[in-house]
Amino acid sequence: MHIVVVGLNHKSAPIELRERLAFNRDQLPEALNRLREELGLMEAAILSTCNRVEIYAGVSEVDGAVARVTHFLSERAAVDSPLLTPRLYSFIEPHSVQHLFSVASGLDSMVLGEGEILCQVKHAYEWARDHGATGKALNGLFQRALNTAKAVRTHTAIGRGATSIGTVSVELAEKIFGRLPKSVILLVGAGKIGELTLRRLIERGASDIRIVNRSAERAGHLAADYRARALAWSELPSQLLAADIAITSTSAPSWLLSREDVAAAMPQRHQRPLCLVDLGVPRNIEPSVGALENVYLFNIDDLQGLVEHAHRERQQAVQASQRIIDQKVGHFLTWWQEEVAGGVPCVPSCSGPAAAP
């Protein structure tokens, strides 16, 4: 058996393409079934985040596997394979192992050392395992990847400083509005990214934070924990009139805020500046909203400048992290050859615009 990964990330594809490939949790069972039953993958797992979509597979033969997964992704994105392929990368072991260990450890993230990715890898594995899509190969791979990530965060400084996209978005809001305690902040979405963003807002002194979420119960719990106000989903239009900053982070399949919505709100705001930070993938705010007067719209790819500053602060931790990853990859490959591959040596192979970490 071989371990194959095929995917794209923030380095190889823009958000316009990543959002077309993104999977929400409800779509995973059907997708995992298709990967195994129609594509013939022995094992499968899907890692879908705001910055990447990757399919991990256990296959008996490498030949044809990458092409089948590529076709599967091109169908999902409604993009012809010749147009999608240059954006994709593919690895087999040992590079596929090295890649996942680096991803889980935050070394392949837009925000170097981010903490959310560890939970996202864990959930991707659990969803695939609970659906019966993993076996000995991917169970061993993901369990060791999670162990490696924890070791990296424990023994290096990779996680210090601004290590989440939520933190970076808060820094952006501060640059535009100055001190946050005087700003009215609307948080749309109460998932993991929303909660991390809320935590950073509180740490920076924000005091008037309003949470709108489709699940009123979830919004209520989050508001109680962080001294914020939970509001009904139906109040989103009216809250847009009061907010100085609105940060969205939902997995909604269509626009939460259209150009028409925001254009209607601006005269009632007397053209008071509005900062919109869209952390959703797919995007939550219609891109043309950014062309409106006194509206400042940023999506997740627009935060790259602030991210690069955070990267420079943590570069010294990369080498220490890489040494841990290399050691853990070696341990995994030893187990792999003894327990799964039957003593057959790993044959390195990789392709695509993103080099193996």
- 50 labelled catalytic: yes
Q: What is the DSSP letter of 285?
A: B
**Cα–Cα nearest to 110, from 223, 233, 193:** 193
User: CB burial class (10 A; 0-12, 13-18, 19+) of residue 187?
Assistant: buried
**Cα–Cα nearest to 250, from 233, 265, 231:** 233
Beta strands 2-9; 89-92: pairing state:
antiparallel
**Identity (one letter) of the amino acid at 56?**
Y
In the sheet that holds 43-48, the strands lie side by side as: 43-48, 52-59, 2-9, 89-92, 349-351
Catalytic residue from among 50, 275, 346, 350: 50
- Report d(CA 160, CA 310) in Å as an integer: 10
Q: Count CA within 13 A, CB hemisphere, residue 77.
A: 27
Dihedral pair phi/psi, residue 170, rounded to 5°: -65, -40
Catalytic residues: 50
